[in-house]
A and B are shown apart, each in its own frame.
Chain A
């Protein structure tokens, strides 16, 4: 009698065999590391944020009191100033998104449909290059340009106009500039997938330029625009530095969070305030999910 041939090789081979026979196990081992990262580092942080929002601080020592308490949310909902700031932040973020979409669409269309492949490459590089410069440098550059004695005023003065000065308008201009590449690139990617033949067919069938845009280009590009808007909207909603630099006496939701951490050491209240943009973004993401925008990211 010869012994039945045992599984060949050492433990490594046996493990490989096991994984081969059990695809479910294989998949779970493969996914466990990234899932752990997602759950612990990302969702865990969000959960910690939400949890600490229900704590308070001791008014004398500033220590965090870890006792369930809805006081922060009560203040957030009942005090008028926070509602006003939240609405203002959402308004600024929406305005930045619209301005970016209006500017980005023609640029992206030119890049995708009119430029030669060689020019396209250079244009993409050109759009990406500003992202290499520091955020602060760009924001301060706008501060200088928007100043009363700055470039913008100098340019419009001959026409009897004056620049916007520091304030919310300046914030919208600066943020729209900062986040423009995040809008151009998804739209460009979306338009690239639109076959030129469709445009030709539309023209051959006698559609005007506007009709072609409305019935052929826009339906294809819309999810891409929404994808870009996720970037511009969320980035604007969380911003607190531009406001400090060009916002004059204004403040947005990010500043309230920052002031409560940096100045008051009131971490629980800052956490409560920080849940507002998280909630707004969640609603936004759920709303845009149906457009297919998330596949365009």
Chain B
């Protein structure tokens, strides 16, 4: 029996080691750097003045699906043509969260990153990314004006990146279970909701912004102007709304396959979602619809940024121009399920209705979308007389909301 015990111990050891390893990989190095507390003055880093010969390779940090080389799906490949055309070999590191992206960029080994709004400010403040000279990216001219010069990609009039694409967090519901069709987030926040126990919400501290957005419309007295710039009073109101919501939530989701399955089985009947999830659920014959509620919504807008200490800046600029070129931008947007940033991409999509489905050119639609942003102590809405609640507090509040 001795051998049995040894084998068992070995199995247990492997499990423990695997468990520890998993946690370690997430810890990496902390985010942020430089930048004086209380003010937002990014380090002065010059932008490139010209793009020369490629350096032979480029190292990217990207969201899954943003730099496809045909290894996932043979027909989905815009990396190989880029390599052939420019001679820059692409090495992609896929990151799972915005925090991971920030950590990876801090290592200084990467040339460009596809940062969401809740990572871009931290990268800029930390001096990890350089301003981007947009005149060196010819396709920038065709990017939708609604995506240019935004607080998450431009500081003091200086552009820090090239918009990649955008999407909104929508309200999805089961058409057979939820009647009448909802047009307000109220259905997921009302404590007396008839759908108690079947409501779902996004499992991330950034979801506090969704509550703030709802309060913006329903409690104007709080004076919320930007759901990512909340002073203590506004923040407490959002948190207490979410604590009330917790009583009707069946489960929180962060893995999109989990949400599709929950809606398909009817364990969730109403809650927040992404357009791509709604499409996939409909594709699996789940009777669901998604809409942008009348209060507006939160969303994301991704930006390609160049590292301050890029070792292959020329190839990085070539990549930036390539990824927003009409054809490639259309491919990425269709593969990932988001609105392309290049206005000419709409003619290049294989599904001719793609831009319509994802509201690519529908600017009135996007004015109702508040893109993810990093909450910092200095209020993003420009208020100087109060301090706002920063993201680390958001995370702790999220823990207490879920109890």
Which of chain A's residues has its CB closest to B206's CB? Answer: A263
Total chain B interface residues with beta-carbon distance under 8 A:
60
Asked if B282 is at the interface (CB within 8 A of a chain A CB), the reply is no
Smallest CB gap from A251: residue in B: B402
- Residues 236-260 of B contacting A (Cβ, < 8 Å): 246, 249-252, 254-255, 258
Partner of B249, one of A148, A235, A249, A266: A249
Contact B267 A166 (CB under 8 A): yes
Chain B 1-25 against A: per-residue CB contact (8 Å), 1 yes, 0 no? 1001100110110010001000100
Q: How many A-B residue pairs have CB under 8 A?
A: 150
A residues less than 8 Å from B34 (CB atoms) = 61
Contact B19 A238 (CB under 8 A): yes
A143 and B15 in contact, given A261-B26, A262-B26 (Cβ under 8 angstroms)? no
List the A residue with the shortest CB-CB distance to B262: A147
- Give the residues from 155 to 191 in chain A that come closer than 8 angstroms, CB to CB, to chain B: 165-166, 182, 185-186, 189
Q: Which residue of A lies closest to B204 (CB)?
A: A263
B257 to chain A, nearest CB (A): 9
For B122, the closest partner residue in chain A by CB is A62
Contact with B along A183-214 (1 / 0, CB 8 A): 00110010011000000000000000000000
Task: Kindly supply a per-residue 1/0 record for chain A positions 120-149, scoring 1 wherever the CB is within 8 Å of any chain B CB and 0 otherwise.
Answer: 000010000001000000000001100111
Alpha-carbon distance between A117 and B399 when the two chains are bound, in angstroms: 52
Whether A244 and B37, one on each chain, are in contact in the complex, defined by CB atoms closer than 8 angstroms, is no
Partner of B403, one of A84, A131, A165: A84
Q: Which residue of B lies closest to A231 (CB)?
A: B12
Q: Does B377 contact A (CB under 8 A)?
A: yes
Residues of B within 8 A of A260 (CB): 395, 399
A131 CA to B7 CA, complexed, in Å: 13
In the bound assembly, the distance between CA atoms of A82 and B393 in angstroms comes to: 15
List of B residues within 8 angstroms of A57 by Cβ: 30, 392
Name the A residues within 8 Å of B376 (CB-CB).
60
B265 touches A259 (CB 8 A): no
User: Which residues of chain B (380-403) have a CB below 8 Å from chain A?
Assistant: 390-396, 398-400, 402-403
- Is there an interface contact between B399 and A259, defined as CB atoms closer than 8 Å? yes
Residue from B8, B37, B393, B402 within 8 A of A58 (CB atoms): B37
CA distance A263 to B251 in the complex (A): 19
**Interface: B38 (CB within 8 A):** yes
Give Cα A195–Cα B214 distance, bound, in whole angstroms.
70
Q: What 0/1 pattern do residues 194 to 229 of B give for CB contact below 8 A with A? A: 000100000111000000000000000000000000
CA A259 – CA B265 in complex, angstroms?
28
Nearest residue (CB) in A for B33 is A61
Which 3 pairs between the two chains have the least Cβ-Cβ distance?
A61-B32, A62-B32, A264-B395
Interface residues, chain A, with chain B CB atoms under 8 Å away: 57-64, 75, 79, 81-82, 84-85, 124, 131, 143-144, 147-150, 165-166, 182, 185-186, 189, 192-193, 231, 235, 238, 244-245, 247-251, 255-267, 269-270, 296-297
Task: Other than A59-B37, A249-B252, A266-B395, give 8 A-B pairs with Cβ distance below 8 A.
Answer: A57-B392, A61-B37, A124-B4, A143-B258, A147-B261, A166-B250, A189-B5, A192-B1
Q: List 20 A-B contacts (CB under 8 A).
A: A60-B377, A61-B35, A62-B31, A64-B30, A75-B396, A85-B403, A144-B261, A147-B262, A182-B8, A185-B4, A189-B5, A193-B1, A248-B251, A249-B250, A250-B402, A261-B26, A262-B26, A263-B204, A263-B398, A265-B99
